[in-house]
Amino acid sequence: MAFGSGALRVAALVEALTLAALLLNVATVHAAPVSAFLGPLHGAAYLASIALVLTTPGAPRGARLRVLIPGVGGLLAQRRL
């Protein structure tokens, strides 16, 4: 297991969970404070996933491409590493 794989696991999970929560919020009550909190958190997790995969030595090309998919890219890339 490569260095930072635990961090990638956390970032990918936060990315996917915050996306699900954002979509649920939009589909139901659309509370602005929820979006204001979860939106930046989701964006930060997405960027962290990208940075972690792209800086992993020897990461396969498939993982580097998959991590760019918004929402689930971190989870998909993690499976390739």
Q: What is the pLDDT of residue 4?
A: 59
Q: Is the pLDDT of residue 71 over 50?
A: yes
pTM of the model: 0.88
Residue 22 has, within 13 A of its CA and on its CB side, a CA count of 16
Q: Work out how many domains the chain is built from and give that number.
A: 1
pLDDT one-digit tens code per residue, 24-63: 999 999 999 999 999 999 999 999 999 999 999 999 999 9
Distance CA 77, CA 55 (A): 13
Q: What is the pLDDT of residue 5?
A: 76
Q: What is the pLDDT of residue 1?
A: 45
Enclosing domain of residue 60: 5-80
Classify 14 as helix, strand or coil. Answer: helix
